[in-house]
Structure 1
Amino acid sequence: MALLEVRNLQVNYGPIQAVKGIDLDVEKGTLVALLGANGAGKTTTLRAITGMVKAYGSVHLGETEILGQRGYKTARMGVNMSPEGRLIFAGLTVEENLKAGAYCIKSAKQYQKNMDRVQELFPILRERRRQQAGTLSGGEQQMLAIGRALMADPEILLLDEPSLGLAPLIIQDIFKTLQAIRSEGTTILMVEQNALATLKIADYGYVLELGKISMHGPASQLVRDERLIEAYLGNKK
């Protein structure tokens, strides 16, 4: 059984069906990419998994059904999300933002372990810990958003467009860190429009088109798929 199992997931916004009965599996210890154009249903899928929008179907974390749970409950169960646009608390310090991410951690020892891990992954956050989060650069804010999600010590980390609006060198650094996070045992489900860069670090990929899975497979195969290259990698013939 996969760590995260999604079956027949459906989300409606009024008369519009945004997600049309998709299935996907995320194996423990892997990085899985969810790719597609704007409006394909990628963010909605993540929001459904975390309980932020009403959805139908089934979402299992291990053997536990989590679909329909409130966001704070799914976080306590081990599912945590770094949202599109970062949504950090701009008026709080870096350290206060990280503390906010650890609200479900009761053990002081575990809290400190999580804080040490985040600051090792993103050393700049240690340097900037007393700085107001709103004064950070875009790349630093993205690191903070990911670090805040990691403070809950999730079994699976959901990332929504972590490269959005960032310079290529910063994206490269963040993607290297995501590989390190995965190698430490945290499973990742990542929504991205930057298909080529994402497939280079992913284990498996799904492509969403208009709310349906149009293709899926090992990332090493998808990156060579002519349909994907033409549609998403900007190499139309």
Structure 2
Amino acid sequence: MRKDMKTALSIKGLVVRYGAVEALKGIDIEVKEGEIVALLGANGAGKTSTLRTISGLVEPAEGSIMLYDEEIAGKEAEKVAGLGIAQSPEGRAVFRDFTVEENLKIGAFTLKDKQQIQKNFERVYKYFPVLEERKNQVASTLSGGEQQMLAIARALMSSPKVLLLDEPSLGLAPLIVQDIMNIVKEIRQEGTTIIIVEQNAAQTLKIADYAYLLELGQINTHGESEVLRNDPKLIEAYLGSH
């Protein structure tokens, strides 16, 4: 089934170094159009480095990153954003002194079409009605869950082809995590391809189509999420505590 789908993002032989430390040791990842692909693993496995390299915040030492037919490895972050990749960073990095609406406008900086920007406002307010209620509130006054929603909504404002989500459940109460995971599924159902980095493997495998498990900068295993959810080794290492 998966092999018949169009490839949205293809990573081959990706190496990332921070000085003498090799954070990624030649990984290969394939993301099909319209999928949710999960990158799982412990802290320091290379998950965030992968996302930051895709979005142009980190320059790879070696390897290729193809967005459809375009090579984006080593391009500046602004150019990558313009080509259709948006990232919701770890730690809910919203502009704390700006209002909700101002944060969302910043997310649409790559778009020139005012009608499209208006449509995107309507779309994110449909996913996150609480943000519309709080649109004139300063971001620092939002709860942790609302700030996470704002970070995702801001990334969506650029009409991305591929949305990168870095630890969207981090530090949130279980009910809020459930809400956010359901919204991620809805975003995918409307056609956006998603790569999600998470430590909460059990929750993520419920919504993902395919998953890669990273260990110390290498792919340990990968496969359909349903299969990985029933893998005894994975259950013991990552799913037992959830």
Q: Confirm or deny that 1:28 pairs with 2:33.
A: yes
Deviations 1:3-59 (A, max 9, x none): 000000000011110000000011000100000000000000000111111102000
Q: TM-score, normalised by structure 1?
A: 0.98
Q: 1:109 aligns with which of 97, 106, 115?
A: 115
Match of 1:92 in 2: 98
State how far apart, in whole Å, the 2-side matches of 1:226 and 1:210 are. 21
Q: Confirm or deny that 1:169 pairs with 2:175.
A: yes
Q: Confirm or deny that 1:203 pairs with 2:209.
A: yes
Gaps of 5+ in 2: 1-5
Deviations 1:101-146 (A, max 9, x none): 0001100100000110000000000000000000000000000000
- Written as runs of structure 1 = structure 2, the 5 A alignment for 1:55-204 is 55=60, 56-204=62-210
Q: TM-score, normalised by structure 2?
A: 0.96
Alignment length (residue pairs): 235
Q: Confirm or deny that 1:231 pairs with 2:237.
A: yes
State how far apart, in whole Å, the 2-side matches of 1:6 and 1:153 are. 22
Q: Percent identity?
A: 59
Q: Confirm or deny that 1:222 pairs with 2:228.
A: yes
Tell me the SS of whatever aligns to 1:145. helix
State how far apart, in whole Å, the 2-side matches of 1:224 and 1:173 are. 24
CA RMSD, Structure 1 to Structure 2 (Å): 0.7
Deviations 1:124-181 (A, max 9, x none): 0000000000000000000000000000000000000000000000000000000000
Shift of 1:234: 2.7
Deviations 1:50-101 (A, max 9, x none): 1111102000000000011111111110001000001100000000000000
State how far apart, in whole Å, the 2-side matches of 1:54 and 1:187 are. 23
Gaps of 5+ in 1: none
Match of 1:13 in 2: 18
